[in-house]
Structure 1
């Protein structure tokens, strides 16, 4: 039996991930997750509202850390530099959770309902980051575009890091933002217009 709430939560997450990989998300019940974790189903629901949220635990902490990092960034930075700094600040949250990250992504990729939830969570984080940029004076449209683009680069970096763990997440984040900047200078708006 887990001795603490944090230990029970960790065991529930591990049990859920194991069962989702063995049986599939749709075929796994909360009762089975609780049993494998050595707790009762009531304990499961004290920690998680449903079986999807087991895989998205920490999303609110990540959102809060990102928005705080955006708010605390030096005032002379451009929006993408603010975001790069913010994503680099939250890297330890993800690095500490790496053993859970890779199998979690596999389960999400294999389950349409989880992919939908993942997109909704990403949109929520992106909007929170955009609002943090707006609070710094970045105009609405540009704040939204920067947040969505920055999140896409960060998401790509995480996938690259999972596929290539020989390099740190920081290396992958820096590369993704370098690639993003390179994309923005490869063609002028006049060159990009169709029919020219």
Structure 2
């Protein structure tokens, strides 16, 4: 096994940071590879040595965030501590507000669908119970979709609302009803 080149990691982080900054300034559809490379302080061709497209870069960002989030929230859902799971979720999003807003609001419908599908796939890999009356797959699709919709609404329409208030909404509307109590 070879050790990852730190230059590659540094370049990819610069590209991820550049894209997320740009998406917070304008819709993803208007951001070009040239914009991303320039903001990262890299050459245009360098971008393509790391990612085949700007969509692949955005997907890489989403994959990392979703994975981190699932690791944080899944154990709480497994113990059925839905209020704590909702608080952990909204604290995570609050701490990464600009990137979360860029992914859920600024990146457009196609990327939101991709993020939803990635989150559903990761949630399917987590051992969590659902009520006996609810097919597990439907519970996951509904839970992920509703949660992402609420987060997107918060970041776009109610950004001043405190994350604890949003956690309460998510718990009452999504987590608690889907919990196998």
Contact 1:63 1:125 in 2 (8 A): yes
The TM-score normalised by the length of structure 2 is 0.65
User: How many residues matched?
Assistant: 166
Cα RMSD, aligned residues only: 3.7
Counterpart for residue 17 of structure 1: 23
Q: Given the alignment, which residue of 45, 49, 60 partners 2:48?
A: 45
Q: Compared with structure 1, are the counterparts of its residues 74 and 180 closer, same or farther at alpha carbon in structure 2 (3 Å cutoff)? A: closer
Matched, 1:155 2:148: yes
Counterpart for residue 30 of structure 1: 33
Counterpart for residue 114 of structure 2: 120
SS in 1 for 2:53: coil
Per chain length, whose mean CA-contact separation is higher, i.e. which structure has more relative contact order (CA < 8 Å, sep 6+)? 2
Alignment of 1:93-108 (within 5 A): 93-108=92-107
Counterpart for residue 136 of structure 2: 143
Following TM superposition, by how much is the alpha carbon of 1:119 offset from its aligned partner in structure 2, in angstroms? 0.9
1:136-159 per-position Cα deviation (integer Å, ceiling 9, x unaligned)? 5668x7321221222123113212
1:87-131 per-position Cα deviation (integer Å, ceiling 9, x unaligned)? 54343442232234435545433xxxxx23321331221132123
Following TM superposition, by how much is the alpha carbon of 1:181 offset from its aligned partner in structure 2, in angstroms? 7.8
